[in-house]
């Protein structure tokens, strides 16, 4: 699995304040379509089904505020938020604006889905 144990998003804790043993809370850089892009995965049980959220990009990334609105979903799913190329944490001034097009975004999405499987 590509999720590392080093997390930079708060751990998911139970009512007793202890980290849930099978939970996942990771913020990671992954290589998609030849460029570094960032995903955040969170859920109370890493074996739950995955939901991939696609933001309204390019430009409207959601990693920064997703936890506030998705915490209930994290109880039943592994929520994966992705800052697509050119957006949010995946922004790079070195990225060609020509690489941000529907064909490339579709290809990136399919590549990420395969990675999440």
Q: What is the pLDDT of residues 48-107, one digit of tens each?
A: 999 999 876 666 777 777 778 888 999 999 999 999 888 878 888 887 788 888 899 999
pTM: 0.84
Q: What is the dihedral of CA 86, 87, 92, 98, to 10 degrees?
A: 10
Beta partners for residue 52, in sequence order:
80
Alpha carbon distance 57, 85 (integer Å): 9
- 26 near 40, Cβ under 8 Å? yes
pLDDT tops 80 at residue 110: yes
Average pLDDT for 1-8: 49
Question: How far, in Å, CA of 18 to CA of 12, rounded?
Answer: 8
């Amino acid at each position: 699995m590509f999720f590392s144990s080093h997390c930079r998003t708060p751990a998911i804790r139970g009512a007793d304040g202890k980290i849930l043993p099978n939970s996942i809370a990771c913020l990671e850089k992954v290589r998609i379509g030849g460029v570094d892009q960032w995903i955040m995965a969170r859920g109370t049980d890493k074996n739950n089904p995955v939901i991939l959220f696609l933001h309204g990009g390019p430009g409207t990334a959601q990693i920064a505020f997703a936890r506030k609105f998705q915490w209930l979903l994290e109880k039943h799913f592994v929520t994966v938020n992705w800052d697509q190329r050119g957006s949010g944490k995946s922004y790079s001034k070195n990225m060609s604006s020509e690489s941000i097009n529907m064909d490339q975004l579709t290809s990136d999405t399919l590549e990420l889905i395969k990675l999440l499987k």
